[in-house]
Chain A
Amino acid sequence: MNAHRVAVTGMGLVSPFGGDADDFFHHLLAGDSAIGFLRTDDVPRPMAIPFAGLPTFDPQTHFDKMLLSTVDRFAQIGLAAALAAWRDAGWSIAASDESREHWGVIWGTALGGVLTLDKSYRDLWQNGRQRLSPLSVVLGMNNAANAHISIQLGLGGPSICHSVACASSALAIGEAFRRVRSGESTLMIAGGSEAPQAYSVLRAWEALRVLAHADEETAAGACRPFGADRDGLVLGEGGAALVLENWQHARSRGARIHAEMIGYGSSCDHDHLVRPNRDGQVRALRLALADAGLSPDEVDYVNAHGTATAEGDPIECQALQAVFGERAARLPVSATKAAHGHLLGAAGALEALITVLALRERAIPPTAHLRSIDPECAGVDHVTRARSGQRLRAALSNSFAFGGSNAVLVFHAGGQ
């Protein structure tokens, strides 16, 4: 197999802060939180939880009514993120001279069109309706986002959806990377999107007893990964996308290259449905480093999975120590979910985007609200305040999912 270098030429997201990727990153460096408070009107027990929403995202400013009538919110967010990444890569929505017949999209989502399904159940069982709109099927399907992305951008290559819980979009990016590196594709767009605020989903997560507790006043600081005072994760909605492109192709068209993607490792704990496993994570980390041809000493930042759950955070720190050995104590690690919440299937894509920005901007965003590190999470260099002017060569983005699936992405600052 001839390995081709893979350039990240486009980044896009729907930011919970309302701006673009650069603005989003500045907020992260400042330690700002996008976590708000969600109140539902469900009867008889409305939900009131900390939640990272997209208060400024207005789909009607992105898409016309015709398109919106066939797109669920998770796919609206995904399509908006993908189009932003596409434009960032310097492409127009409509093809000009280039052929897109072999370019594709790989997308990740854990829950897909669950808001449509939730509404359907309400209509049938609560509102007394006897049938549903024929659009319910295409609104609710998990591959709706990648289908719309392919259609809007005229991509004739593979259009694939990965649904692997919280590792969905990390795996999507990893698998897209492999296609470009192998030469099978010249260009792939990859990412993920999620809109999990369906009543049934929120109640299900509540039942797992892993959600952070906070009121409206304290919601912004509710997610505290690695903290001694952490008490759970905060769900969020959002989406992000990367354009992965053959390096020579990118260079020849004069594209701006944000970073280079150099490795990907995936594994399964094969142990327990929800309890994370150190050895499974170690396998994914080592596979990713080997795939990238890196030694542990060459990694300068890890964007951790770090959800702020009691069990997950210590296991991830143990896995990093096992892989990085003595280097671990000097390995900068941060969990940005403290600022943007847990986007479930979209988390890996958003955090990959942050990792690329960290390399490009030579700055590490902190784990916001981390005041007192849990001794069980010790052993790595926790970044509690933004670090600018860093010499960052390579960085990892970790994603670990219920079901035991693990994915680690490796990016490099990239020489020309």
Chain B
Amino acid sequence: MDSLFLIREFLCDRLGVAAEKIVPETMLDAVGVDSLLILELMFDFEERFGIVLSKGLPPPRTVGEMAKLMDGLRNAQSN
């Protein structure tokens, strides 16, 4: 399961965002994902993959940035 899949699942199933809107270029705030919901998404991510995201992470602005950030952390913490 890659990060983009997880983000898409979160946005579609939990928040009701249409699947076709979720592409790497999608701005998170444009589909209603504010700072509070980004925290929830990151929490969901941590729960699924058993990793801890640094509190100092810059907040991602797009779906693609978020996926890249998460993929990077997963790879770093699994090595």
> Which residues between 1 and 41 of chain B lie within 8 Å of chain A, taking CB atoms?
14-17, 32, 36-37, 39-40
Q: State whether A65 and B43 are in contact (beta carbons under 8 Å apart), knowing that A70-B36, A134-B36, A138-B36 are contacts in the complex.
A: no
Contacts of A135 in B (CB 8 A): 36, 39-40
Return B48 CB to nearest CB of chain A, in Å: 13
In the bound complex, CA of A66 to CA of B28 (Å): 13
Task: Check B39 against A69 for contact (C-beta < 8 Å).
Answer: no
Contacts of A64 in B (CB 8 A): 16
Contacts of B17 in A (CB 8 A): 66
Return the CB mask of A102-139 against B: 1 if under 8 Å, else 0.
00000000000000000000000000000001110010
Task: Check A66 against B16 for contact (C-beta < 8 Å).
Answer: yes
Number of A interface residues in the complex (CB < 8 A): 9
Task: Check A69 against B37 for contact (C-beta < 8 Å).
Answer: yes
Task: Check B14 against A134 for contact (C-beta < 8 Å).
Answer: no
Number of B interface residues in the complex (CB < 8 A): 10
Return the CB mask of A53-78 against B: 1 if under 8 Å, else 0.
00000000000111001100000000
Task: Check A65 against B36 for contact (C-beta < 8 Å).
Answer: no
Contacts of B14 in A (CB 8 A): 65, 69
In the bound complex, CA of A135 to CA of B36 (Å): 7
Q: Which of B15, B39, B40 contacts A65 (CB 8 A)?
A: B15
Contacts of B40 in A (CB 8 A): 69, 133-135
Task: Check B43 against A134 for contact (C-beta < 8 Å).
Answer: yes
Q: State whether A66 and B15 are in contact (beta carbons under 8 Å apart), knowing that A133-B43, A134-B43 are contacts in the complex.
A: yes
In the bound complex, CA of A70 to CA of B14 (Å): 11
Contacts of B16 in A (CB 8 A): 64-66
Return A72 CB to nearest CB of chain B, in Å: 14
Return A127 CB to nearest CB of chain B, in Å: 13
Return B50 CB to nearest CB of chain A, in Å: 12
- With both beta carbons as reference points, the residue of chain B lying nearest to A137 in the complex is identified as B36
> Which residues between 116 and 168 of chain A lie within 8 Å of chain B, taking CB atoms?
133-135, 138
In the bound complex, CA of A69 to CA of B17 (Å): 12
In the bound complex, CA of A69 to CA of B37 (Å): 9
In the bound complex, CA of A138 to CA of B37 (Å): 11
Contacts of A134 in B (CB 8 A): 36, 39-40, 43
In the bound complex, CA of A135 to CA of B37 (Å): 8
Return B14 CB to nearest CB of chain A, in Å: 6
- With both beta carbons as reference points, the residue of chain A lying nearest to B17 in the complex is identified as A66
Return A62 CB to nearest CB of chain B, in Å: 13
In the bound complex, CA of A135 to CA of B17 (Å): 19
Task: Check A69 against B43 for contact (C-beta < 8 Å).
Answer: no
Return A274 CB to nearest CB of chain B, in Å: 38
Contacts of A70 in B (CB 8 A): 36-37
> Which residues between 302 and 326 of chain A lie within 8 Å of chain B, taking CB atoms?
none
> Which residues between 39 and 78 of chain B lie within 8 Å of chain A, taking CB atoms?
39-40, 43
Return the CB mask of A24-68 against B: 1 if under 8 Å, else 0.
000000000000000000000000000000000000000011100
- Taking Cβ atoms with an 8 Å cutoff, the residues of B that contact A are 14-17, 32, 36-37, 39-40, 43
Given A65-B16, A135-B40, 18 other A-B residues pairs in contact with their CB atoms under 8 A: A65-B14, A65-B15, A66-B16, A66-B17, A66-B32, A66-B37, A69-B15, A69-B37, A69-B40, A70-B36, A70-B37, A133-B40, A133-B43, A134-B36, A134-B39, A134-B40, A135-B36, A138-B36
List 12 A–B pairs whose Cβ atoms lie within 8 Å, in order of A's numbering: A64-B16, A65-B15, A66-B16, A66-B17, A66-B32, A66-B37, A69-B14, A69-B40, A70-B36, A133-B43, A134-B39, A134-B40
